[in-house]
Structure 1
Amino acid sequence: MTLTMMKLTQHDTHEVPRPRFGTAHVWVESPLQLLSAVETHAAGLLGTDIRIIPRLGMPLEATTQALLKHAPAGVRFEKAARKPPQPKSSSDRYVTGDAYSGKVQRSLLAGVKAKEIIIIDDGLATLALIKQLISETPTPLVRARAKNSAARIAMGLATWHRLRQLAREGRLLIVSALFVDAQTRARMTELGIKFAQHKFEWLSTQPVAESFTEPTLLIGSAMVADQLIHEEPYLQWIEEISADGPVAYFPHRRETPELLEKISKIDQVVLKEHTVPIEMRLRVLRPGQEIRALPSTVIPSLRLLLGPDSRYLYPQAVPDHWWTESTDLELREHLSSSLKV
């Protein structure tokens, strides 16, 4: 395989150097992060020797196998591990998709011997991270929907300071497919945070492996499993959609078997196996097909991949009565932000 350098989009991304050599140790904890790792490498931002290490116990096998067939030269998929790898040389790069991960934060705070820390795309979480990092006030890097202990909050705050230090040293790069406004970019530059944006250029050149015949493609949501919305209105919404014709339902990896069992019994709904990221599965539509979804990171990603056909992507805002009482206003707004990106 030959390494093809993908051109990053946006007029100012040329400011980010393109490494042509060196080793990067990439720790991934989700299928999207795994895809993002390959995209970032194809854009020339990781080096020539890319070692991708999945977190042990995560459902990444299908995505790994799909990417192995066409991955750019230099990518090596290594055995899953319980904790992030530690670069052996100060000339290596340390790459992760989740700066909120407790394992990643412990690793960063223990001291990482690497020339650069790269945070690759993890969807809306990446935008949330940027917002927190550019804050004038130190902000704990913890998940908004989690119940965090005092110790966890303290570690998140220490990680904020650590990443800001790395930025001052010119050693922090963030890569995303999502749009970041000019004001935020200016603040990032002021702090020393480097940024590059891609538009799934590598994936767009790859053959489409799947085709679906159902006229409606419904992207499943984890919000019921995460106890952010009530189950009953979610099921009613699926029933209303399926009343108009056959529906292919693509489960989220966190949806429970109990919920999927109920969805499978809805008339005209065909449950699809959870395999690779939706970005890889639904980037090409057949004539007459449409995509339905609740707010999700996948919405802005699919808008990029579908191009003109993105007009057949219909995201649904979450009605107020769907939210559970424990989902506060700030979290509701964060989860709904994908509709505006």
Structure 2
Amino acid sequence: MTEPAAASVPGPARAFARRSGGGGTLAFVESPVQLLNVLEWAHATAPAPGELTVHVLPPHDPMTRGQLRRMAQLARDEGHAVEWVEARGGASAPLKTAGGLARPLRAARRLVIGDPFSRYVHLLLSLAGDGADVTVVDDGTATMEFTAQLAGGAKRLTRWHRTGATGARGLLFAPVSARARRRLTPGARRAVEVFTSMPVEAPEHVTVTENAFAWTRQRFGPPTLTGGTDLVGTSLAETGVVDTDRYLAAVVALARAHGATRYFAHRRERTEKLHRVAVEAGLEIVRPDLPLELVARRGPIGGTILSFPSTVVHTLPLALAGTPVRVAVCDVDPAWLTAQASPRAQGFLSDVTGSARDVHRLPSVP
């Protein structure tokens, strides 16, 4: 792999920035990875000083909040305004937050969002002006599902690991989600861009701009290498996609087969599960304080990084371009899936693995 020029700016991204003019840009993020990709988008488009304001809508879990605070400081260091909004502080908090943001939302020339499936984001999009351009930055592999649903004309956006049951709250929220879905569709007065490192097909009239992690490579590294093997954890068990015992057995087998010594935990992995990883696989548990792309770029990092199908099999080769680090991905065996897993789960996970570039594929662990 060769090192891409850190200062390169994709043509479509710069053209999109010019098209939107000098109006204000509001970004809304709920996870550290989303904020990282807002910074990558800003690096590519070079908005005018003071044009971009990032609103952080933190969830309750402490690991995510800690990473978000560190990412927010990096955003401030880059000269962007950052607003920390406690939007989940009670039943009335979402409506109060939306009410306070209604005026800037109507005035914004461009909205940058990290999760097009989020009901909170749908509420904010429904308040935006009809002419506001929209940029969707990566929220991991969910971007692949979003573009596929947008291209397929889906009337309702659904996360890939959900079974499809709407529920009473979903039915009540349906009109808001429908309005947000229209905001995510290009129109005569509104452009839609997807800024992504994932392999996606561009929906009709949607601009897809490559996220090459130029800001990450320029800001951090190159990393020092430990010479060992690291294993990246996932939250597939926490989301009910794979059976926890099967997952742990696969972690043990991979660690033994490849001599892994460290396990980089996903921020949503449960403490009791990580304790079992440490005891049963003999791995040192590492709780990253930033998204893994930045942690790996800072180093020290293993010469080989093992992962199950996840976002990092697409992003780490880009963030670590120009280094000798090898990224390898282990397929999920269909036998690991739970009875509650979505019918789309196996196909989606296979697509995540099969479409990854610059990675070494490992067979699934029986």
Same fold per TM (> 0.5)?
Answer: yes
Is 47-56 or 307-316 further displaced after alignment? 307-316
Q: Which consecutive residues of structure 1, in runs of 5 or more, have no partner in the other structure?
A: none
Distance 1:7 1:72 in 2: 21
Aligned residue among 188, 193, 199 for 1:173: 193
Aligned residue among 155, 166, 182 for 1:148: 166
Shift of 1:21: 4.1
Distance 2:108 2:179 in 1: 25
Check whether the contact 1:41–1:47 (CA below 8 A) recurs between aligned residues. Answer: no
Aligned residue among 129, 141, 144 for 1:127: 144
Counterpart code for 1:139: K
CA change 1:285–1:241 in 2 (3 A) is farther
Shift of 1:117: 2.2
Shift of 1:278: 0.9
Task: Verify: 1:255 aligned to 2:269, yes or no.
Answer: yes
Task: Verify: 1:331 aligned to 2:334, yes or no.
Answer: no
Shift of 1:145: 2.3
Distance 1:188 1:30 in 2: 28
Q: What's the CA shift string for 1:150-180, capped at 9, x where partnerless?
A: 662634444333422x534233222112233
Structure 1 vs Structure 2: percent identity of aligned residues? 21
Task: Verify: 1:215 aligned to 2:228, yes or no.
Answer: yes
User: What secondary structure, in the 3-state scheme, does the structure 1 residue paired with 2:120 have?
Assistant: helix
Task: Verify: 1:188 aligned to 2:204, yes or no.
Answer: yes
Matched residue, 1:104: 121
Task: Verify: 1:276 aligned to 2:283, yes or no.
Answer: no
Q: Which consecutive residues of structure 2, in runs of 5 or more, have no partner in the other structure?
A: 1-5, 88-93, 356-366
Q: What's the CA shift string for 1:170-203, capped at 9, x where partnerless?
A: 33222112233xxx33x422xxx23322201111
Distance 2:234 2:72 in 1: 24
User: Alignment length, in residue pairs?
Assistant: 327
Distance 1:329 1:33 in 2: 27
Distance 1:284 1:315 in 2: 22
**Higher-RCO chain (CA-CA 8 Å, sequence separation at least 6):** 2
Distance 2:125 2:281 in 1: 49
Is 268-277 or 326-335 further displaced after alignment? 326-335
Written as runs of structure 1 = structure 2, the 5 A alignment for 1:76-91 is 76-82=81-87, 83=94, 85-86=101-102, 88=104, 90-91=107-108
Structure 2 length normalisation: TM-score?
0.78
Distance 1:143 1:157 in 2: 15
CA change 1:108–1:69 in 2 (3 A) is closer
Check whether the contact 2:195–2:208 (CA below 8 A) recurs between aligned residues. Answer: yes
Check whether the contact 2:25–2:108 (CA below 8 A) recurs between aligned residues. Answer: no
Check whether the contact 2:145–2:160 (CA below 8 A) recurs between aligned residues. Answer: no
Check whether the contact 1:29–1:54 (CA below 8 A) recurs between aligned residues. Answer: yes
Check whether the contact 1:97–1:122 (CA below 8 A) recurs between aligned residues. Answer: yes
Is 312-321 or 260-269 further displaced after alignment? 260-269
Counterpart code for 2:70: Q
Check whether the contact 2:265–2:288 (CA below 8 A) recurs between aligned residues. Answer: yes
Counterpart code for 1:171: A
Counterpart code for 1:248: R
Matched residue, 1:68: 73
Distance 2:213 2:223 in 1: 18
